[in-house]
Amino acid sequence: MSPEFPKGQRPPLLLTGAGGMLGSMLQARTPAIYDLHPCTHADLDITDADQVEALVLRLRPQVIVNCAAFARVDACEASRELALLVNGEGPGILARAAHKVGAVLVHFSTDYVFDGCYRHPYVEEDATAPLSVYGLSKLRGEQAIQESGLERYFIIRTSWLYGPGGPNFVETIIRLAQEREELRIVDDQIGCPTYTRDLVLAAFRLLDVPRHSDLDHHSSPYGTFHFAGEGQCSWFEFAEVIVTLLRHHGQDLAVKRILPISTADYPLPAARPAWSVLSTAKYQRVTGAAIPHWRQSLKDYFEARFS
């Protein structure tokens, strides 16, 4: 985003959900051109419209990045009202506040808005049909932004996120591989692992597009985008690569076998899409940027984590 701010002043960027997995990566990697104002859940509750409006009117951010969410997919099933409030209404509250001060909103959504019945990489316009409360609540959040009157927003749908600071699949497999001889991992759900580092870079690339855009007056550089690591895999293949990398990094492991199982063998409260590969063609076309393959990004994560 262009720092069209008085000379010498950096444009304020309000970050919500700064204490979460993605929020902490965003905090670490926000370009220095911005004046970053990170807010954890304790600092700012995105479902409190008065609190959000008061802060936004005082700070007058040029950009609001929303990393706040109720992202525990299975827990959402038992806490439907809270999921719909945080994931469904919170983004609308932020969007209306952004509209009042002319800020751009960056918001993150999920591949779980789809039912996974397609067998082509999902494009942004494909029909949504969430299978879980989490997926439904995230879809409501997208709709709340779209209906807020705000035109300058980026909704970035992503998938299978991992990175420092959060419970996530990579960290779970690292722990289990140290504790158990046998791992049984679902092999019939296919998706795209995404490193928070890559997603944060993608968000700032998108924010830069309007500045460099030579789009004609009729096309907007804003809207919904898919971003995920290049390539695809099952959770089982993902786990195999994680364990291979653990061995490569000389970790002491208990695990001797990894067995593929089916989703039916491992019932969870929330249903997941069986196939939720996201097409990132629109992101790549608009930014002109390539996306690292998920295997390369995972290697990078291990280098950073075990060095």
Ligand X SMILES: NC(=O)c1ccc[n+]([C@@H]2O[C@H](COP(=O)([O-])OP(=O)(O)OC[C@H]3O[C@@H](n4cnc5c(N)ncnc54)[C@H](OP(=O)(O)O)[C@@H]3O)[C@@H](O)[C@H]2O)c1
Q: Which stretch binds ligand X (CB under 6 A): 21-29, 143-151, 260-268, 269-277?
A: 21-29
> Could you report how far apart the first and last alpha carbons of the chain are, in Å?
34
Active-site position among 34, 112, 122, 134: 134
Query: Is 83 a residue that touches ligand X (CB under 6 A)?
Result: no
* Dihedral, 243, 176, 230, 38 alpha carbons, nearest 10: -130
Residue 110 binds ligand X (CB under 6 A): yes
Q: Is 134 a catalytic residue?
A: yes
Tell me: does residue 69 bind ligand X (CB under 6 A): yes
Minimum CB separation from ligand X for residue 256, in Å?
28
Window of 14-22, 117-125, 261-269, 294-302 that interacts with ligand X by CB under 6 A: 14-22
62 lines the binding site for ligand X (CB under 6 A): no
Which 8-state DSSP code applies to residue 267? -
180: which DSSP letter?
-
DSSP 196-265: HHHHHHHHHHHHHHHHH----TTS-S-EEEE---BS-EEHHHHHHHHHHHHHHTT------EEEEE-GGG
Question: Could you please report the per-residue DSSP string of 155-173?
Answer: EEEE-SEE-TTS--HHHHH
Q: Which stretch binds ligand X (CB under 6 A): 158-166, 179-187, 246-254, 257-265?
A: 158-166
Two structure tokens written together for 231? 């390539």
Rule CB under 6 A: is residue 68 a binding residue for ligand X? yes
Q: How many residues in total does the chain contain?
A: 307
Among 41, 100, 205, 299, interactor with ligand X by CB under 6 A: 41
Residues in contact with ligand X, counted by CB under 6 A, come to a total of 27
Q: Which of 62, 76, 108, 241 binds ligand X (CB under 6 A)?
A: 108
- Give the 3-state secondary structure of residue 129: coil
Measured from the CB atom, the residue of 84 and 176 that comes closer to ligand X is 84
**CB-nearer residue toward ligand X: 109 or 287:** 109
**Does residue 70 interact with ligand X by CB under 6 A?**
yes
Contacting residues for 55 by C-beta, under 8 A, at least 6 apart:
14, 39, 44
As given in the structure block, the two tokens for residue 33 are 């051109």
Restricting to residues 162-191, which ones interact with ligand X according to CB under 6 A? Answer: 166
Choose, by CB under 6 A, the member of 1, 13, 14, 46 that binds ligand X. 46
DSSP code string of 84-98: IIIIIIHHHHHHHHH
Q: Is 210 in the site for ligand X (CB under 6 A)?
A: no
List interacting residues with ligand X (CB under 6 A): 16-17, 19-23, 41, 44-47, 67-71, 86, 90, 108, 110, 138, 158-161, 166
Catalytic residues: 134
